[in-house]
Each structure stands twice: as C-alpha cells, then as structure tokens.
Structure 1
Amino acid sequence: MTAIAHSAPHSSALPAATVRSQVSVPLRFVDGYATTAVVMTFHGLVDGREHLLLALGNWEQALLGGATAPLVRLHSECMTGDVFGSERCDCGPQLREAVERIAAAGGFLLYLRQEGRGIGLYPKLDAYALQDQGLDTYDANLALGHSEDERDYTAAAQMLHALGATSVRLLSNNPDKASQLAALGIATAEKIPTGVHLSEANSRYLAAKRDRTGHTLELGQAAVVRAAPEGSGRAPGHADMLGRVEALIPALRARAEEAEQLRRLPEGTMRDLGAAGIFRLLAPAGVGGYGLGAQTYGEAIRGLARGCASTAWTAGHLAEHAWMLARWPRKVQDDVFSGGVMPLAAATSAPVGSARKVPGGYAVSGHWSFASGIMHSQWALLAVQHDGIRLQALVPLTDLELVDAWHTDGLRGTGSNDLRADSLFVPADRVMDWAVLSGPDNPGAELHSEPLISAPMSTLLNLVAPAAALGSAEYALELFRDQLLRRNEKNGTITRQADYVPAQTRYAKASGLVATAQLHWQAALSLLPGDGPAASGPAARERASFRLSLALSAEAAQKAVRLAVAGSGASAHRLSHPLQRIQRDVGVLLSHPTLGLDPILEQAGRGLLGMEFTMPSF
C-alpha cells in the first residue's frame, strides 16, 4: 500500500491537514467479527485532538471516483458505550455495525475524540445522573451549563480533505453531521441511516434524539417494543419473530465457545436476545409482551439452537417463565412487570422444597437443582410442598443462596446451577397453589385475553428440548456438508471427502435422519393451534401423538448428529470444533425427563390404544 504523503485539494477556507502516519491494525470484536483497518493520524487538525481515521475495505478504489463515493461514518468517542458496553446509548452497537458495513463497501470510520457530544467524560456522567432524575439527554446538558451538542466537525472535514474524499456516502442518523460537512466542503452523495439499536435502557435516549434533533430513528419498527399497549399493532408476528431469530444465528455461533467457558450466556448474547424481543415472545400484551403462541415459540427455540443450544435452552425457559409469571394475580404482576420491563426468572421443581405456615406467609426451605436461566434472572420460581399440597413460591434471587453446581459435559453455557434456602420468609401473596397456577382458570386468565395463558404448563415445557435438539442437528448437518466439500491439498493433490462413496452415503443417511426429525416435529406442531383465537395446548386425545412425535424427532436428531461427527474425521473432536459441542449438547438434551423415551412410548401406546394415562404429567 502506498503511503499518503501530501494533502489533497481542500476547501480554501479550511486549514490544511496532512497524514502524519498510517499503520495496519487487525481488528476483532467480541462477537467474533474480524477485519483489518489502516489507522491514520494527522498533522494540523484545528482542535489539536488526537482524532483517528480508520480506512476499511477497498477504500483506495472508493477514492478513485467509481460508481459510488466512499462510505463514511463520523463516530464520536464514547468510552462507556464503545469500551464498557453501556446500554444507556447506542454508540457501541453503532461502532460495531459501522466497521462491518464500511469494510464491505470501502471507506472510512473517523473516530473523533468528542466524548459526551463534546462536553467530556465526567460531565457526561453528571448528565446521566440528571437523566436518572427525569431530564432527557439534551436538557441534562443544558442544566449543566453546556449546549445540547457541542461537537464541531471541522477536524473531520480536514481529515477527509487530506485524503481527497470531497464527496461521501454518510452513514449516520444525525442530520447535523451532513449539514456541517457541507459547509466545510464535503458533499454528502447519499445519507444512509444506521440500524436502530434499541434496548430497555436507551429507549428514552433514542426517543429524545428523534424528537429533539431530528435523528433518523424509526423506533416503532425497532427490535424491542417497550411495554407495547394491548392492541397497539406494534408487536411482531410469527414471520417477523423468526426473522429476528435468524439474524441472531451468526453471533450466537461466534459466542458458543465463550458460553461454554463462562458456563452462562455472554452479556452480548443476553443483550441481543433482549433487543430481539425473545423474552417477550410469550408474555401477554398487557404486560409488555408479544402474546405469540406455542408454534412461534417452538420454532424460535429451534432457530436459536442453529446458533447455540445453550442459548436456545436458556432463552426458551426465560421466555416461558415470563409467561408463567403472567398467570399470577394482578398484585404480583404489577410488581414483577413494573415499568414494562420483562422480568427474567428461573424455575425449578426438583427436588421439591418444604413450606410451613408462619404469620403473613410461609417459611421455605430446600435445595433445588437445574435452575436454568438463573445466572441471568432476578426471580426464582420454586416448587415447595405444604401439608401434601404442591405450591410455587416466587422469590427474589437476592434472597437465595446460589450454589455453583453446573459442571457438565453438555449445555454448559446454560449455567443451570442450584439454589438453596433455609426457613426463608415468603409473603403469602407470593405463594400459589400449583394446581391453580397450572390450570386453565389461573388468575392471569382473568387479566389477559391471549388463549395461551390458559394452556397447560406442560405444553411449552415439552417443546424446549426437542426444538433445541432439532435445531442443533440442522446446524450439525450444515457443518458436516461444509466438511465434506472442503478442498484439502496433500502432496500436491487436491481432494475432497465428498468425492468418496462412504462420505456420500453417510451424508445421505444424516440428511434422511434430519428430514425424519423435521417431519416428526411438524407432526407435533400440527397438533397445536396457531397463534390465533384458539392458541392453547393440545386436547387430551392428541397428547399421545404430540409427545410421541416430539420424542421421535429428538431421537432422529441425535442419530443424525452422531453420524455427522463420526463422518467428519478426527478434527471434529477438537474442543474448538462446534460439532463435538453439538454432540455433547444433544446428549444432555436427550436425557431431559421430557424426552425419556421409555415412559413416553409406554404412555403414548396407552393413549393411542384408547387407554388412560398412568402418568399425571402426560
């Protein structure tokens, strides 16, 4: 690459800047995305600050004046968002998005040292404190004696002029950037908005940018709908929800190994799941959910498992538990769903704890295992027993002892640790009879119109493991195909496993097993009504076929995964290879009680023969 040693033509009213140095820097983001940037520094910038320009992709070709101008983003430094991942703004996600989009198109990311819209880091944090008291982001600046936005883009224009970039395609939602650049001799050939990176924490901030300074932000179409009122029309439908899941898959695959090492989901994954509205999927609209049905839920878990089985398992249960909380009386719902925030709760029933009556409530004791989602939850739903009656107690996680017990060979990223309590006081209004909660006439059924709120609890629980197994098998088949078609050079000869008959037959058999799993899955889902007026669980006469199809789907999925691993050679057993992780994850999934084949075959046989079930849970 030729060094740039002189200044290109620039606006006559603008002091000239020249490139001071340039160096190639490989970049890798926490989600696994990697690229290389040419980082440039400058002499002569008017404000004397150490701004950087990152040249990305085929930037030299873009400068030659081809069909399109270089893609450019002016990104103001944000230590809290860019470095620490703060969700109070959208800066970190915008930076990540911009690097990838500019690298693909060819252009420049200007990293401008203008913390807090130019007011500095400490004042920005002071402004945060004022925002916590009710001011928006602009009024907080004004209250501190600053302007709403103190950024000046003269140095940015100097940097672009130094490279000869007098016309750009501007990647920004902020109209002020294009206006300032135009006054400084940089034409905007096209304005391209960034994505809308909405979270629970930054919704007021983004709304202020839209309403106060005209930012291009279509918040009504963003991934998270904050406490959408019933009938607002803002919730996604089946296809939209599955599209959001599909968009998450690449990042989930990139973080799957990290999830294993952490033994919980990475923060980036939790942030992405929240932004996509996964935890809102089942909860009724009246508490800020989307009110979607069992079919959408099952397909969403299946899709997530094509990225990471631990993520699918954890997210599926957290979404299901929000739906369970919506079955409680209004007072409890007002507490846990306050402010439109979707509560995250773990639920565990094995072994059942004990409860004894005390004034005002119950004293609860027990050691509960397999609390999936507990590493990300604020609440726990605990099974307890009092005088032979099974109850469920809703307890803040801070009141419980978390026991680090999840040391397994598969689904390691779920962090399904144990919980312990000894004579913990739980108020009476946070303890409910399980038969009432799990029945069709639960208290939530009087508050919400969605039919699923009256469905049997087991309807959703029985979907999670087979959905995750199928999605994992589909991912394994994809990896197996890539392995067979990969070209290898040995002793000057290029070969592929796919050219050998044994590999062809293995792949055909694995494909057939996945197809079998898919057919059984569809047969099970066909017994569930859709997301419309009758979206409840299967009728009793259909439960035998429902459970049988789910079990046979998971069994075929596991066989397909085993065949894919066996046919992929020794490399598939390296810990860095996703196939070995998939095989371990599916092995744990098939050990879940909802997929215990022998009791399912027995009960399904009884049901299909017109005999009564002998297992109440069936």
Structure 2
Amino acid sequence: MTTRDWKHQNLELKNRLYSSARTMVPLIRQRANETAELGKLPDATIAEMQEAGFFRIMQPARYGGYELEPHVFFEVQMILAEGCMSTAWVLGVVAIHNWQLGLFDDKAQQDVWQDNDATLISSSYMPVGKVTHTEGGYMLSGKWGFSSGSKHCDWAFLGAMVPPAEEGGAPDYCTFLVPRADYQIVDNWNVSGLEGTGSNDIVVDNVFVPAHRLHRSLDGYNCDNPGNSVNLNPVFRLPFGQIFPRAVSTSSIGALQGALTAFITVNKNRTGLNDGARAALDPQALYAAATAEAVIDECRTVLFRNFDRQMDAVNGAEPLTTEERVKMRFDASAVSKKCTDAMNELFLSCGAQGIFKDHPINRSWLDINAGRTHVANNAFKLGRNLGSLQFGFDNTDFFL
C-alpha cells in the first residue's frame, strides 16, 4: 500500500468513526435514565461501541486495533458526551487501557487478547495496593475505588507502590494487570452524577501477579516501555501521564456542548413564569451561552494543539521539555473546572426549571460537576507545580 493509499484509508476510517459516534448520540441520550438506574452502561451501548470500533482506536494493530492518533479518540469521546457523559466517560477510561496495555510486555498483551482481542480492561490507579516480592513476580492485596466500567471488563489495572527489592532502594509506582477471576467487584456505586459509569470498588486478596503483568510509571514517563519492542507505531511513545488524564477531562467538553445545544433549544422561545420576559432576551442567559461556546472552543483548541506537539515529538521533532509536559498536564486538569463553571452558569440561567430531573440539561449539570471531583481534574495541585517551575523551583510531579 502506498503512503497516499494509507492516508486515504485512514481518512475513511476516521470519518466512519465520527459518523458512527454521531449516529449513537440520540440513542444514548434516550438511554440516559436507564443508564443511571442500572448504575452501569446498558449492554446494548457497550455492544454498539464495540461494533463501531471505538475501543480499537488506539489499540495495537497486532491485536486488531487501528493505532490512530489521540486526536481521533478524543473527538469520538466528545461527540458521545453530547448524548451521555457517563457513556463517554466509560469509553474514555476503558478504551485508553487498550493503548496502555500496548506498553506492557507482549506476554501480558497475549494474556488479555490472544483468544479475544475485544476483551476490555478497567482500572483504579490509586496506589493503595499492598505488594510483596515473590519468585517470578509479586503478591498483591488491596481495595481500590472508582473502577469505571468494571462490570463490562474481564481484567483490571490496579495501582500500587512496589517496595524496593533491596534495602535502601526507592519504592516504585506501578500498574498491575489482574484477571477477573482474581478480584471481587464491590457494587457500591450509589452517587449523584455519572451514575452510569459504574465506578465500583475492586478487592484483591493476596493473589500472584507474574512480573510481565506490571507496568512501571517511570517507563511511562520515559516513554520507553517493554511494549515498544513490538508495537512500533509512534503513538506508543506518547507519555502515559499525558494520555490518561485527558480520558477523564475531555468528556466534559462534549457534555458542555450537548448542554449548550439543549439550553438554546429550550430557552429560545421560553418566557419566565413570574415576569413573562423572554429568556432569549435575558442578558444573563446570553452571556452564559456565549461563555459556554468560548470555553468549548478554547478547550478543544488546547487539546488538539497539545497533541499536535506531542505527535510531532514522537515523530522526530524536538523532544518535549519538562516545562512543556507540566504545562500540558495543567491544561488537562483545567478543562473540568472551566466546563463546570460554564455549565453552572447555563444551569442558573434556566431558573428553577433546571432542578427538575427531566430538564434537558439537568443530567449534564450533575455529570460535569461529578467529573470535576476526579483527582486528575484538580487543577490547583497541577497549577501549583507549574507556578513553582515559573518561579525557578523543581518539578514535583512525574505523572507527566
């Protein structure tokens, strides 16, 4: 296949993915109440996303994936979020694991995908696991929270600090790959907002994890992973710390877009119950709509600009500096706050009608505010690190 043919085929694939996502928006919007009541995505939604190929966007080609750049993946996520942020959240978190598994030793990739390359992985990266060294690997125990999409997955990525093998060494933050038979899902997802993500607890009780099912955070930071020996596409050289945080912030952009569209539709001809004034002439409503559009545009522009720079770097341009990575990490964390602030202005401009559960923007309001609480969306911590660099202090974050 010539380069021209490959680019044409790639463009057709991207357009097909975008079209499929657009087709799904009204379907998942109709299922939003069912999704919330189930506390997980309906099986039909997972099946439709599987059929559309959404989970394969950044998956290694050796296991049926498309190995496309992150621009495509996050565009699909934003489109879906216009209909249901819980659906987009689960896709973002679970599908990005197919990219991360490509960073693991190929034995781990075979463990998951050799018999079924549509197998999915959930996660909880909080470093709460208890680890001991043993022959051939590790013994792992612990209880992890917030494992989104866990009921749809047959494996899990779980975070832990690995103690040094020799006295005097430093602990090593790692991700462990664990099969469904080795962990219990605790069905405790009883929340307001993002109900459909099914972000339940995971419990592991002293199970053996072979050494090849471990991914070191330091390898992800250095962009030099075991999987790079077999997955040669430059997309697998992107920094892990720049990819996953976008999976939990980008759905807010699409959800805000969906809310803005609904806000305009609802308020275009609405009149106030108390004063009879047209909502479309209310300066507060007009300003809220303008602000939401500006936030969407800004967040999308920064998202794609940063990935343009990252893709240039892995394709031979100047490597990313620490300063660039710190700034990009802050950019990712700031998305949720910006979208939440804009969403809250839309909500307030709907008056008391907005508090009804069947109001067109009520669910988006709950979901965006819920997403704001994710640790990766805490802009203050990342902003403090960026500000410290600006004042000449050392970087303190290596999840970059």
| Smaller-chain TM-score bracket | 0.7 to 0.9
* 2:346 paired residue number: 564
Say if 1:530 and 1:498 are closer, same or farther in 2 by CA, change over 3 A: farther
Say if 1:232 and 1:290 are closer, same or farther in 2 by CA, change over 3 A: farther
Identity of aligned residues (%): 27
Q: What's the C-alpha RMSD, in Å, of the aligned pairs?
A: 2.9
Say if 1:456 and 1:486 are closer, same or farther in 2 by CA, change over 3 A: same
SS in 2 for 1:422: strand
Mapping of residues 47-66 of structure 1, within 5 Å = none
Structure 1 residue 351 displacement after superposition: 4.2
Say if 1:269 and 1:408 are closer, same or farther in 2 by CA, change over 3 A: same
| Match among 357, 380, 391 for residue 174 of structure 2 | 391
Q: Is 2:255–2:368's contact at 8 Å kept on the other side of the alignment? A: yes
* 1:345 paired residue number: 121
* 2:256 paired residue number: 473
SS in 1 for 2:249: helix
Alignment partner of 1:373 is 2:149: yes
Give me the whole-angstrom Cα distance separating, in 2, the residues matched to 1:278 and 1:531.
22
Moved more, 542-551 or 455-464: 542-551
Say if 1:530 and 1:296 are closer, same or farther in 2 by CA, change over 3 A: farther
SS in 1 for 2:104: coil
Q: Is 2:194–2:366's contact at 8 Å kept on the other side of the alignment? A: yes
Moved more, 331-340 or 303-312: 331-340
SS in 2 for 1:248: helix
Moved more, 450-459 or 545-554: 545-554
Alignment partner of 1:585 is 2:367: yes
Alignment partner of 1:263 is 2:45: no
Residues 417-458 of structure 1 show CA distances to partners (whole Å, capped at 9, x for unaligned) of: 111112112233323444335542211111122112121111
Q: Is 2:249–2:377's contact at 8 Å kept on the other side of the alignment? A: yes
* 2:65 paired residue number: 289
Give me the whole-angstrom Cα distance separating, in 1, the residues matched to 2:118 and 2:11.
14
Structure 1 residue 234 displacement after superposition: 7.4
Report the residue type matching 2:344 in the other structure.
Answer: R
Residues 1-45 of structure 1 show CA distances to partners (whole Å, capped at 9, x for unaligned) of: xxxxxxxxxxxxxxxxxxxxxxxxxxxxxxxxxxxxxxxxxxxxx
Tell me: higher relative CO, structure 1 or 2? Use CA pairs within 8 A at least 6 residues apart. 2
Moved more, 570-579 or 456-465: 570-579
Give me the whole-angstrom Cα distance separating, in 2, the residues matched to 1:502 and 1:611.
50
Report the residue type matching 1:458 in the other structure.
Answer: G
* 1:449 paired residue number: 232
The answer for unaligned runs of 5 or more in structure 1 is 1-229
Q: What TM-score comes out, normalization by structure 2 length?
A: 0.86
Alignment partner of 1:515 is 2:294: yes
Structure 1 residue 340 displacement after superposition: 5.6
| Match among 226, 239, 243 for residue 460 of structure 1 | 243
* 1:525 paired residue number: 304
Structure 1 residue 601 displacement after superposition: 2.1
Give aligned pairs, total: 385
Give me the whole-angstrom Cα distance separating, in 2, the residues matched to 1:500 and 1:412.
31
* 1:328 paired residue number: 104
* 1:308 paired residue number: 84
Give me the whole-angstrom Cα distance separating, in 2, the residues matched to 1:358 and 1:305.
44
Structure 1 residue 608 displacement after superposition: 4.4
Alignment partner of 1:279 is 2:279: no
Structure 1 residue 520 displacement after superposition: 3.6
SS in 2 for 1:307: coil
Q: Is 2:58–2:99's contact at 8 Å kept on the other side of the alignment? A: yes
Structure 1 residue 527 displacement after superposition: 2.1
Q: Is 1:287–1:337's contact at 8 Å kept on the other side of the alignment? A: yes
Say if 1:479 and 1:239 are closer, same or farther in 2 by CA, change over 3 A: same
SS in 2 for 1:352: strand
Structure 1 residue 616 displacement after superposition: 2.7
| Match among 485, 488, 499 for residue 278 of structure 2 | 499
Q: What TM-score comes out, normalization by structure 1 length?
A: 0.57
Structure 1 residue 482 displacement after superposition: 1.2
Give me the whole-angstrom Cα distance separating, in 2, the residues matched to 1:555 and 1:259.
25
Structure 1 residue 466 displacement after superposition: 2.7
Report the residue type matching 1:241 in the other structure.
Answer: L
* 1:60 paired residue number: none
| Higher share in helix | 2
SS in 1 for 2:58: coil
* 1:174 paired residue number: none
Structure 1 residue 613 displacement after superposition: 1.8
Say if 1:429 and 1:412 are closer, same or farther in 2 by CA, change over 3 A: same
Moved more, 310-319 or 423-432: 423-432
Residues 113-161 of structure 1 show CA distances to partners (whole Å, capped at 9, x for unaligned) of: xxxxxxxxxxxxxxxxxxxxxxxxxxxxxxxxxxxxxxxxxxxxxxxxx
Say if 1:530 and 1:300 are closer, same or farther in 2 by CA, change over 3 A: farther
* 1:602 paired residue number: 384
Residues 581-617 of structure 1 show CA distances to partners (whole Å, capped at 9, x for unaligned) of: 1111111111112221221222222344565322333
The answer for unaligned runs of 5 or more in structure 2 is 1-5, 164-170
Give me the whole-angstrom Cα distance separating, in 2, the residues matched to 1:335 and 1:288.
15
Give me the whole-angstrom Cα distance separating, in 2, the residues matched to 1:442 and 1:342.
23
